[in-house]
Chain A
Amino acid sequence: MPAIKLVKGVLKGNRRDLARLITLIENEHSSAATALSMLYKHTGNAHIVGVTGPPGSGKSTLVTRITAEYRKRSKTIGIVCVDPSSPFTGGALLGDRIRMQEHSLDKDVYVRSMSTRGHLGGLARATSDAVRAIDASGKDIVIVETVGAGQSEVQVVEVAHTVIVADVPGAGDDIQAIKAGIMEIADIFVVNKADYPGADRKVIEINAMLDLDSRERSWRPPVLLTNALTGEGIPELVDTIGAHMSYLQETGLLKQKGLQRSRDELEQIMEYKLTNELFTRLRGTPEYEQAIKKIAGRNDDPYSVAERLIADFLISVRE
Protein backbone atom coordinates (compact mmCIF):
# COMPACT_ATOMS: atom_id res chain seq x y z
CA MET A 1 0.00 0.00 0.00
CA PRO A 2 1.43 3.42 -0.91
CA ALA A 3 2.61 5.53 2.01
CA ILE A 4 0.28 8.42 1.21
CA LYS A 5 -2.81 6.24 1.59
CA LEU A 6 -1.59 4.89 4.90
CA VAL A 7 -0.84 8.40 6.12
CA LYS A 8 -4.36 9.55 5.27
CA GLY A 9 -5.80 6.58 7.14
CA VAL A 10 -3.61 7.16 10.19
CA LEU A 11 -4.57 10.83 10.34
CA LYS A 12 -8.23 9.80 10.28
CA GLY A 13 -7.54 7.48 13.19
CA ASN A 14 -8.07 4.26 11.19
CA ARG A 15 -6.58 1.57 13.39
CA ARG A 16 -5.90 -0.92 10.59
CA ASP A 17 -3.78 1.62 8.72
CA LEU A 18 -2.05 2.52 11.97
CA ALA A 19 -1.36 -1.17 12.64
CA ARG A 20 0.05 -1.63 9.13
CA LEU A 21 2.25 1.42 9.43
CA ILE A 22 3.69 0.14 12.71
CA THR A 23 4.51 -3.18 11.01
CA LEU A 24 6.33 -1.30 8.24
CA ILE A 25 8.22 0.65 10.90
CA GLU A 26 9.18 -2.57 12.68
CA ASN A 27 10.31 -4.17 9.43
CA GLU A 28 12.30 -1.04 8.53
CA HIS A 29 10.45 -0.89 5.24
CA SER A 30 11.46 2.05 3.06
CA SER A 31 7.89 3.39 2.89
CA ALA A 32 7.79 3.72 6.70
CA ALA A 33 10.29 6.58 6.56
CA THR A 34 8.24 8.27 3.82
CA ALA A 35 5.06 7.93 5.88
CA LEU A 36 6.71 9.12 9.08
CA SER A 37 8.13 12.20 7.44
CA MET A 38 4.66 13.07 6.13
CA LEU A 39 3.17 12.49 9.58
CA TYR A 40 5.82 14.41 11.48
CA LYS A 41 4.08 17.77 11.53
CA HIS A 42 0.97 16.14 12.98
CA THR A 43 2.84 14.81 15.99
CA GLY A 44 3.83 16.34 19.30
CA ASN A 45 0.32 16.59 20.72
CA ALA A 46 0.12 13.45 22.85
CA HIS A 47 1.31 13.17 26.43
CA ILE A 48 3.70 10.22 26.34
CA VAL A 49 3.83 8.25 29.57
CA GLY A 50 6.43 5.52 30.16
CA VAL A 51 5.81 2.69 32.59
CA THR A 52 8.80 0.63 33.61
CA GLY A 53 9.84 -1.68 36.43
CA PRO A 54 10.93 -5.24 37.14
CA PRO A 55 9.11 -8.26 35.64
CA GLY A 56 5.99 -9.09 37.60
CA SER A 57 5.71 -5.69 39.26
CA GLY A 58 2.28 -5.28 37.73
CA LYS A 59 3.11 -2.95 34.84
CA SER A 60 0.48 -4.30 32.45
CA THR A 61 -2.23 -4.30 35.09
CA LEU A 62 -1.22 -0.79 36.09
CA VAL A 63 -1.39 0.36 32.46
CA THR A 64 -4.86 -1.17 32.15
CA ARG A 65 -6.04 0.67 35.25
CA ILE A 66 -4.51 3.96 34.20
CA THR A 67 -6.23 3.55 30.84
CA ALA A 68 -9.59 2.90 32.51
CA GLU A 69 -9.17 6.05 34.61
CA TYR A 70 -8.26 8.14 31.55
CA ARG A 71 -11.28 6.76 29.69
CA LYS A 72 -13.48 7.95 32.57
CA ARG A 73 -11.94 11.37 31.93
CA SER A 74 -12.77 11.05 28.21
CA LYS A 75 -9.18 10.79 27.02
CA THR A 76 -8.22 8.59 24.06
CA ILE A 77 -5.33 6.19 24.61
CA GLY A 78 -2.62 4.41 22.65
CA ILE A 79 -0.54 1.71 24.30
CA VAL A 80 2.71 0.13 23.14
CA CYS A 81 3.78 -2.87 25.23
CA VAL A 82 7.26 -4.19 24.69
CA ASP A 83 8.30 -7.75 25.54
CA PRO A 84 11.71 -9.33 24.97
CA SER A 85 12.70 -11.41 21.95
CA SER A 86 14.59 -14.67 22.31
CA PRO A 87 18.35 -14.22 21.97
CA PHE A 88 18.48 -17.66 20.35
CA THR A 89 15.64 -17.76 17.83
CA GLY A 90 14.51 -14.13 17.57
CA GLY A 91 10.98 -15.25 18.42
CA ALA A 92 8.88 -13.66 21.15
CA LEU A 93 5.85 -14.33 23.27
CA LEU A 94 3.90 -11.12 23.68
CA GLY A 95 1.53 -11.50 26.59
CA ASP A 96 0.74 -8.01 27.85
CA ARG A 97 -2.56 -7.89 26.01
CA ILE A 98 -3.97 -10.58 28.29
CA ARG A 99 -4.32 -8.02 31.08
CA MET A 100 -5.78 -5.38 28.79
CA GLN A 101 -8.85 -7.27 27.64
CA GLU A 102 -11.31 -4.90 29.29
CA HIS A 103 -10.39 -2.27 26.70
CA SER A 104 -10.27 -4.61 23.72
CA LEU A 105 -13.53 -3.44 22.17
CA ASP A 106 -13.07 0.24 22.99
CA LYS A 107 -12.34 2.01 19.70
CA ASP A 108 -10.66 4.84 21.56
CA VAL A 109 -7.96 2.55 22.94
CA TYR A 110 -5.31 1.20 20.58
CA VAL A 111 -3.01 -1.52 21.95
CA ARG A 112 0.06 -2.77 20.13
CA SER A 113 2.41 -5.48 21.34
CA MET A 114 6.00 -5.24 20.24
CA SER A 115 9.02 -7.50 20.47
CA THR A 116 12.40 -5.92 21.22
CA ARG A 117 13.85 -7.81 18.21
CA GLY A 118 17.18 -8.01 19.97
CA HIS A 119 17.33 -4.35 20.95
CA LEU A 120 18.56 -3.63 24.47
CA GLY A 121 17.58 -0.74 26.70
CA GLY A 122 14.03 -1.84 27.51
CA LEU A 123 12.36 -0.79 24.24
CA ALA A 124 12.39 -1.95 20.63
CA ARG A 125 14.16 0.09 17.96
CA ALA A 126 10.74 0.77 16.46
CA THR A 127 9.06 1.91 19.68
CA SER A 128 9.77 5.59 19.35
CA ASP A 129 8.46 5.77 15.76
CA ALA A 130 5.45 3.62 16.64
CA VAL A 131 4.62 6.06 19.44
CA ARG A 132 4.90 8.88 16.94
CA ALA A 133 2.49 7.15 14.54
CA ILE A 134 -0.03 6.69 17.36
CA ASP A 135 0.44 10.33 18.36
CA ALA A 136 -0.32 11.37 14.76
CA SER A 137 -3.46 9.22 14.79
CA GLY A 138 -4.84 11.60 17.39
CA LYS A 139 -4.60 9.77 20.71
CA ASP A 140 -4.42 12.10 23.73
CA ILE A 141 -2.20 9.84 25.82
CA VAL A 142 0.33 7.28 24.61
CA ILE A 143 1.52 4.81 27.23
CA VAL A 144 4.74 2.91 26.64
CA GLU A 145 5.24 -0.19 28.74
CA THR A 146 8.85 -1.37 28.71
CA VAL A 147 10.11 -4.93 29.01
CA GLY A 148 10.52 -6.10 32.58
CA ALA A 149 13.39 -3.83 33.46
CA GLY A 150 16.43 -4.72 35.52
CA GLN A 151 18.63 -1.84 36.44
CA SER A 152 19.84 -0.30 33.21
CA GLU A 153 16.85 -0.52 30.84
CA VAL A 154 16.45 3.23 30.90
CA GLN A 155 15.77 4.14 27.26
CA VAL A 156 12.13 4.93 28.00
CA VAL A 157 13.33 8.27 29.32
CA GLU A 158 14.22 9.28 25.74
CA VAL A 159 10.68 8.60 24.54
CA ALA A 160 8.37 9.58 27.39
CA HIS A 161 7.50 12.95 28.91
CA THR A 162 6.64 11.30 32.20
CA VAL A 163 8.28 8.12 33.45
CA ILE A 164 6.61 5.93 36.06
CA VAL A 165 8.84 3.41 37.79
CA ALA A 166 6.76 0.63 39.32
CA ASP A 167 8.21 -1.43 42.12
CA VAL A 168 6.83 -4.00 44.53
CA PRO A 169 7.31 -4.64 48.23
CA GLY A 170 9.88 -7.17 49.27
CA ALA A 171 12.23 -6.81 46.30
CA GLY A 172 15.67 -5.80 47.49
CA ASP A 173 16.89 -3.77 50.44
CA ASP A 174 17.60 -0.07 50.81
CA ILE A 175 20.93 -0.40 48.96
CA GLN A 176 19.06 -1.41 45.81
CA ALA A 177 17.22 1.88 46.09
CA ILE A 178 20.36 3.99 45.92
CA LYS A 179 21.96 2.22 42.97
CA ALA A 180 22.31 4.10 39.71
CA GLY A 181 20.12 3.41 36.69
CA ILE A 182 16.40 2.84 36.70
CA MET A 183 15.81 4.47 40.10
CA GLU A 184 17.13 7.76 38.71
CA ILE A 185 14.78 8.08 35.76
CA ALA A 186 11.48 8.14 37.62
CA ASP A 187 9.23 11.20 37.56
CA ILE A 188 6.76 9.23 39.63
CA PHE A 189 7.38 6.15 41.77
CA VAL A 190 4.64 3.63 42.22
CA VAL A 191 4.81 0.96 44.88
CA ASN A 192 2.29 -1.49 43.47
CA LYS A 193 0.70 -4.43 45.27
CA ALA A 194 0.08 -2.15 48.26
CA ASP A 195 -1.65 -5.02 50.08
CA TYR A 196 1.60 -7.00 50.31
CA PRO A 197 3.58 -6.85 53.52
CA GLY A 198 6.44 -4.36 53.38
CA ALA A 199 4.68 -1.86 51.08
CA ASP A 200 4.98 1.05 53.52
CA ARG A 201 8.60 0.17 54.16
CA LYS A 202 9.30 0.29 50.43
CA VAL A 203 7.78 3.78 50.24
CA ILE A 204 10.03 4.88 53.11
CA GLU A 205 13.11 3.40 51.42
CA ILE A 206 12.43 5.16 48.14
CA ASN A 207 11.77 8.45 49.94
CA ALA A 208 15.00 8.03 51.90
CA MET A 209 16.79 7.50 48.58
CA LEU A 210 15.22 10.71 47.24
CA ASP A 211 16.36 12.59 50.37
CA LEU A 212 19.95 11.71 49.44
CA ASP A 213 19.58 13.06 45.91
CA SER A 214 21.77 16.13 45.76
CA ARG A 215 20.54 17.32 42.36
CA GLU A 216 18.73 20.64 42.51
CA ARG A 217 15.31 19.59 41.34
CA SER A 218 12.07 21.50 41.51
CA TRP A 219 10.14 18.27 40.92
CA ARG A 220 10.65 15.67 43.59
CA PRO A 221 9.24 12.38 42.30
CA PRO A 222 6.19 11.52 44.40
CA VAL A 223 6.04 7.97 45.76
CA LEU A 224 2.53 6.56 45.42
CA LEU A 225 1.01 3.36 46.74
CA THR A 226 -1.29 1.50 44.35
CA ASN A 227 -3.09 -1.77 44.12
CA ALA A 228 -3.60 -2.27 40.40
CA LEU A 229 -5.87 -5.25 41.00
CA THR A 230 -8.43 -3.31 43.02
CA GLY A 231 -7.74 0.07 41.44
CA GLU A 232 -6.73 1.65 44.74
CA GLY A 233 -4.53 4.70 44.26
CA ILE A 234 -5.09 4.90 40.49
CA PRO A 235 -7.05 8.20 40.35
CA GLU A 236 -4.29 9.83 42.42
CA LEU A 237 -1.69 8.39 40.03
CA VAL A 238 -3.47 9.80 36.99
CA ASP A 239 -3.77 13.19 38.75
CA THR A 240 -0.03 13.09 39.43
CA ILE A 241 0.77 12.25 35.78
CA GLY A 242 -1.23 15.35 34.81
CA ALA A 243 0.52 17.44 37.44
CA HIS A 244 3.89 16.39 36.06
CA MET A 245 2.90 17.55 32.56
CA SER A 246 1.76 20.92 33.94
CA TYR A 247 5.08 21.20 35.73
CA LEU A 248 6.98 20.49 32.49
CA GLN A 249 4.94 23.14 30.68
CA GLU A 250 5.17 25.84 33.35
CA THR A 251 8.90 25.51 33.89
CA GLY A 252 9.74 25.48 30.18
CA LEU A 253 11.26 22.03 30.63
CA LEU A 254 8.94 20.62 28.00
CA LYS A 255 10.40 22.91 25.33
CA GLN A 256 13.91 22.22 26.54
CA LYS A 257 13.36 18.45 26.46
CA GLY A 258 11.84 18.77 22.99
CA LEU A 259 14.94 20.53 21.69
CA GLN A 260 17.25 17.96 23.22
CA ARG A 261 15.14 15.16 21.85
CA SER A 262 15.16 16.61 18.32
CA ARG A 263 18.92 16.96 18.50
CA ASP A 264 19.41 13.37 19.74
CA GLU A 265 17.02 12.02 17.18
CA LEU A 266 18.58 13.85 14.24
CA GLU A 267 22.00 12.60 15.28
CA GLN A 268 20.76 9.04 15.70
CA ILE A 269 19.14 9.05 12.26
CA MET A 270 22.27 10.47 10.63
CA GLU A 271 24.48 7.99 12.40
CA TYR A 272 22.25 5.10 11.38
CA LYS A 273 22.03 6.21 7.76
CA LEU A 274 25.73 6.88 7.53
CA THR A 275 26.80 3.51 8.93
CA ASN A 276 24.21 1.77 6.76
CA GLU A 277 25.58 3.54 3.68
CA LEU A 278 29.13 2.67 4.64
CA PHE A 279 28.43 -0.99 5.24
CA THR A 280 26.33 -1.55 2.12
CA ARG A 281 29.31 -0.35 0.14
CA LEU A 282 31.86 -2.39 2.06
CA ARG A 283 30.31 -5.70 2.98
CA GLY A 284 30.91 -8.52 0.56
CA THR A 285 33.58 -6.72 -1.46
CA PRO A 286 36.81 -8.73 -1.89
CA GLU A 287 38.93 -5.85 -0.54
CA TYR A 288 36.90 -5.73 2.66
CA GLU A 289 37.09 -9.49 3.24
CA GLN A 290 40.81 -9.38 2.49
CA ALA A 291 41.34 -6.61 5.03
CA ILE A 292 39.47 -8.63 7.70
CA LYS A 293 41.65 -11.68 6.98
CA LYS A 294 44.76 -9.53 7.31
CA ILE A 295 43.59 -8.23 10.69
CA ALA A 296 42.82 -11.75 11.92
CA GLY A 297 46.27 -12.89 10.77
CA ARG A 298 47.87 -9.95 12.59
CA ASN A 299 49.23 -8.60 9.31
CA ASP A 300 47.26 -5.42 9.86
CA ASP A 301 45.37 -3.85 12.76
CA PRO A 302 41.70 -2.82 13.00
CA TYR A 303 42.53 0.74 14.09
CA SER A 304 44.41 1.77 10.96
CA VAL A 305 42.16 -0.24 8.65
CA ALA A 306 39.13 1.57 10.03
CA GLU A 307 40.78 4.96 9.48
CA ARG A 308 41.70 4.03 5.92
CA LEU A 309 38.28 2.67 5.00
CA ILE A 310 36.45 5.69 6.40
CA ALA A 311 38.83 8.07 4.61
CA ASP A 312 38.21 6.18 1.33
CA PHE A 313 34.47 6.32 1.95
CA LEU A 314 34.47 10.07 2.53
CA ILE A 315 36.49 10.66 -0.62
CA SER A 316 34.16 8.47 -2.69
CA VAL A 317 31.14 10.34 -1.32
CA ARG A 318 32.66 13.69 -2.28
CA GLU A 319 33.25 12.46 -5.81
Chain B
Amino acid sequence: MSSSKKIRVLVAKPGLDGHDRGAKIVARALRDAGMEVIYTGLRQTPEMIVEAAISEDVNVIGLSILSGAHNALFPKIMELLKAEGGDNILVIGGGIIPHDDVPALKAVGIAEVFGPGTPLADIVGYIESNVKL
Protein backbone atom coordinates (compact mmCIF):
# COMPACT_ATOMS: atom_id res chain seq x y z
CA MET B 1 0.00 0.00 0.00
CA SER B 2 1.15 3.55 0.50
CA SER B 3 4.66 4.10 1.72
CA SER B 4 4.40 7.64 2.99
CA LYS B 5 1.19 9.34 4.00
CA LYS B 6 1.31 12.90 5.26
CA ILE B 7 -1.41 14.76 7.09
CA ARG B 8 -2.44 17.72 4.90
CA VAL B 9 -4.11 20.59 6.71
CA LEU B 10 -5.81 23.69 5.36
CA VAL B 11 -5.60 26.60 7.81
CA ALA B 12 -8.24 29.10 6.79
CA LYS B 13 -9.53 32.46 7.97
CA PRO B 14 -13.19 32.81 7.02
CA GLY B 15 -14.87 36.19 7.02
CA LEU B 16 -13.72 39.71 7.49
CA ASP B 17 -11.45 39.81 10.51
CA GLY B 18 -7.92 40.93 9.80
CA HIS B 19 -5.94 39.15 12.48
CA ASP B 20 -4.03 36.00 11.69
CA ARG B 21 -1.32 35.79 14.32
CA GLY B 22 -3.13 32.86 15.96
CA ALA B 23 -3.66 31.06 12.65
CA LYS B 24 0.01 31.48 11.79
CA ILE B 25 1.14 30.14 15.17
CA VAL B 26 -1.09 27.09 14.79
CA ALA B 27 0.13 26.62 11.18
CA ARG B 28 3.71 26.72 12.38
CA ALA B 29 3.02 24.23 15.19
CA LEU B 30 1.38 21.79 12.78
CA ARG B 31 4.32 22.18 10.39
CA ASP B 32 6.68 21.41 13.26
CA ALA B 33 4.62 18.32 14.01
CA GLY B 34 5.44 17.07 10.49
CA MET B 35 2.21 18.03 8.74
CA GLU B 36 1.83 19.76 5.39
CA VAL B 37 0.01 22.99 6.08
CA ILE B 38 -1.63 25.10 3.42
CA TYR B 39 -2.37 28.64 4.52
CA THR B 40 -4.59 30.69 2.25
CA GLY B 41 -4.46 34.08 3.96
CA LEU B 42 -7.09 36.46 5.27
CA ARG B 43 -10.70 37.12 4.34
CA GLN B 44 -11.80 33.87 2.75
CA THR B 45 -15.37 33.12 1.74
CA PRO B 46 -16.82 29.68 2.56
CA GLU B 47 -16.72 28.92 -1.18
CA MET B 48 -13.01 29.72 -1.39
CA ILE B 49 -12.22 27.58 1.64
CA VAL B 50 -14.11 24.57 0.35
CA GLU B 51 -12.61 24.93 -3.12
CA ALA B 52 -9.09 25.02 -1.65
CA ALA B 53 -9.82 22.00 0.57
CA ILE B 54 -11.03 19.92 -2.39
CA SER B 55 -8.27 20.99 -4.82
CA GLU B 56 -5.57 20.41 -2.24
CA ASP B 57 -7.14 17.13 -1.06
CA VAL B 58 -6.61 17.96 2.61
CA ASN B 59 -7.44 15.69 5.53
CA VAL B 60 -8.08 18.50 7.99
CA ILE B 61 -9.46 22.05 7.89
CA GLY B 62 -8.62 24.40 10.73
CA LEU B 63 -10.89 27.45 10.79
CA SER B 64 -9.70 30.48 12.71
CA ILE B 65 -12.19 33.22 13.42
CA LEU B 66 -12.16 36.22 15.74
CA SER B 67 -14.95 38.31 14.27
CA GLY B 68 -17.92 36.60 15.88
CA ALA B 69 -19.37 35.43 12.58
CA HIS B 70 -18.73 31.74 13.31
CA ASN B 71 -22.42 30.90 13.73
CA ALA B 72 -23.06 32.05 10.16
CA LEU B 73 -19.85 30.99 8.43
CA PHE B 74 -19.05 27.60 9.97
CA PRO B 75 -22.39 25.97 9.09
CA LYS B 76 -22.15 27.38 5.55
CA ILE B 77 -18.69 25.86 5.13
CA MET B 78 -19.92 22.48 6.41
CA GLU B 79 -22.87 22.56 4.03
CA LEU B 80 -20.71 23.34 0.99
CA LEU B 81 -18.15 20.77 2.03
CA LYS B 82 -20.80 18.08 2.17
CA ALA B 83 -22.10 19.08 -1.25
CA GLU B 84 -18.59 18.72 -2.67
CA GLY B 85 -18.10 15.27 -1.15
CA GLY B 86 -15.64 16.39 1.50
CA ASP B 87 -17.45 14.69 4.42
CA ASN B 88 -14.35 12.71 5.35
CA ILE B 89 -12.40 15.89 6.17
CA LEU B 90 -11.87 16.61 9.86
CA VAL B 91 -12.95 20.21 10.53
CA ILE B 92 -11.86 22.00 13.70
CA GLY B 93 -12.29 25.60 14.79
CA GLY B 94 -10.49 28.11 16.93
CA GLY B 95 -10.40 31.77 17.89
CA ILE B 96 -12.90 33.75 19.91
CA ILE B 97 -15.87 31.42 20.14
CA PRO B 98 -18.16 31.57 23.21
CA HIS B 99 -18.66 28.25 25.01
CA ASP B 100 -22.41 28.54 24.53
CA ASP B 101 -22.01 28.48 20.76
CA VAL B 102 -19.93 25.32 20.68
CA PRO B 103 -22.72 22.68 20.88
CA ALA B 104 -24.50 24.13 17.83
CA LEU B 105 -21.24 24.18 15.86
CA LYS B 106 -20.56 20.58 16.80
CA ALA B 107 -24.06 19.68 15.69
CA VAL B 108 -23.28 20.85 12.14
CA GLY B 109 -20.08 18.81 12.05
CA ILE B 110 -17.28 20.93 13.56
CA ALA B 111 -15.37 18.21 15.40
CA GLU B 112 -13.76 20.35 18.08
CA VAL B 113 -13.28 24.00 19.03
CA PHE B 114 -10.04 25.25 20.56
CA GLY B 115 -10.20 28.54 22.43
CA PRO B 116 -7.50 30.98 23.50
CA GLY B 117 -4.85 29.46 25.77
CA THR B 118 -5.11 25.96 24.27
CA PRO B 119 -1.66 24.34 24.38
CA LEU B 120 -0.47 23.76 20.80
CA ALA B 121 0.31 20.15 21.68
CA ASP B 122 -3.40 19.59 22.37
CA ILE B 123 -4.32 20.64 18.82
CA VAL B 124 -1.57 18.50 17.31
CA GLY B 125 -2.59 15.54 19.46
CA TYR B 126 -6.27 15.95 18.59
CA ILE B 127 -5.56 15.98 14.87
CA GLU B 128 -3.22 13.02 15.04
CA SER B 129 -5.75 10.87 16.87
CA ASN B 130 -8.83 11.90 14.90
CA VAL B 131 -7.70 12.41 11.30
CA LYS B 132 -8.86 9.97 8.66
CA LEU B 133 -6.03 9.32 6.19
Interface residues in chain A, defined as those with a beta carbon under 8 Å from any beta carbon in chain B? 15-16, 19-20, 22-24, 26-30, 85-86, 89-95, 97-98, 101, 104-105, 110-113, 115, 117
Give the CA-CA distance A94 to B51 in the complex, in Å: 16
Give the CA-CA distance A115 to B8 in the complex, in Å: 10
Do the beta carbons of A19 and B38 come within 8 Å of each other? Answer: no
Total residue contacts A-B, CB cutoff 8 A = 90
Do the beta carbons of A93 and B31 come within 8 Å of each other? Answer: yes
| Interface residues contributed by chain B, number (CB under 8 Å) | 32
Shortest CB distance B132–A (Å): 13
Evaluate whether A113 and B2 lie within 8 angstroms (CB atoms) in the complex, with A91-B34, A93-B28, A98-B39 already known. no
Shortest CB distance B78–A (Å): 17
Do the beta carbons of A30 and B38 come within 8 Å of each other? Answer: no
Which residues of chain B have C-beta atoms less than 8 A from A22's C-beta?
A: 57
Which residues of chain B have C-beta atoms less than 8 A from A105's C-beta?
A: 47-48, 51
Give the CA-CA distance A15 to B11 in the complex, in Å: 20
Shortest CB distance B90–A (Å): 15
Which residues of chain A have C-beta atoms less than 8 A from B32's C-beta?
A: 86, 89, 91
Q: Is B5 an interface residue (CB 8 A)?
A: yes
Residue of A nearest to B28 (CB): A93
B33 contact from A26, A29, A89, Cβ within 8 A: A89
Do the beta carbons of B57 and A23 come within 8 Å of each other? Answer: yes
Residue of A nearest to B57 (CB): A19
Give the CA-CA distance A85 to B8 in the complex, in Å: 13
Give the CA-CA distance A20 to B6 in the complex, in Å: 13
Shortest CB distance A144–B (Å): 16
Do the beta carbons of A111 and B31 come within 8 Å of each other? Answer: no
Q: Is B40 an interface residue (CB 8 A)?
A: yes
Evaluate whether A16 and B54 lie within 8 angstroms (CB atoms) in the complex, with A27-B4, A90-B6 already known. yes
Do the beta carbons of B35 and A111 come within 8 Å of each other? Answer: no
Shortest CB distance B59–A (Å): 9
Shortest CB distance A269–B (Å): 16
Q: Is B36 an interface residue (CB 8 A)?
A: yes
Give the CA-CA distance A95 to B20 in the complex, in Å: 14
Give the CA-CA distance A15 to B86 in the complex, in Å: 12
Give the CA-CA distance A80 to B54 in the complex, in Å: 15
Give the CA-CA distance A24 to B2 in the complex, in Å: 8
Give the CA-CA distance A182 to B107 in the complex, in Å: 53
Give the CA-CA distance A117 to B34 in the complex, in Å: 10
Which residues of chain A have C-beta atoms less than 8 A from B37's C-beta?
A: 91-94
Shortest CB distance B51–A (Å): 6
Q: Is B41 an interface residue (CB 8 A)?
A: yes
Do the beta carbons of A94 and B57 come within 8 Å of each other? Answer: no
Which residues of chain A have C-beta atoms less than 8 A from B39's C-beta?
A: 93-95, 97-98
Shortest CB distance A127–B (Å): 14
Which residues of chain B have C-beta atoms less than 8 A from A101's C-beta?
A: 40-41, 44, 48
Do the beta carbons of B4 and A117 come within 8 Å of each other? Answer: yes
Shortest CB distance A28–B (Å): 5
Q: Which 6 residue pairs of A and B lie closest in terms of their CB atoms, listed nearest first?
A: A98-B41, A19-B57, A91-B31, A27-B2, A29-B2, A91-B34
A91 contact from B35, B41, B52, B55, Cβ within 8 A: B35
| Given pairs A92-B36, A104-B40, 13 additional interface contacts (CB within 8 A) | A15-B54, A19-B55, A20-B57, A30-B1, A89-B33, A91-B36, A92-B31, A94-B39, A104-B48, A104-B52, A105-B47, A105-B48, A117-B4
Q: Is B61 an interface residue (CB 8 A)?
A: no
Give the CA-CA distance A45 to B19 in the complex, in Å: 43
Which residues of chain B have C-beta atoms less than 8 A from A27's C-beta?
A: 2-6
Shortest CB distance A126–B (Å): 10
What are 21 A-to-B residue pairs whose CB atoms are below 8 Å? A19-B55, A27-B2, A28-B2, A28-B4, A29-B1, A29-B2, A86-B31, A86-B34, A89-B31, A89-B33, A89-B34, A91-B30, A93-B28, A93-B31, A93-B39, A95-B38, A95-B39, A97-B38, A105-B47, A115-B6, A117-B6
Give the CA-CA distance A24 to B8 in the complex, in Å: 13
Residue of A nearest to B47 (CB): A105
Which residues of chain B have C-beta atoms less than 8 A from A104's C-beta?
A: 40, 48, 51-52
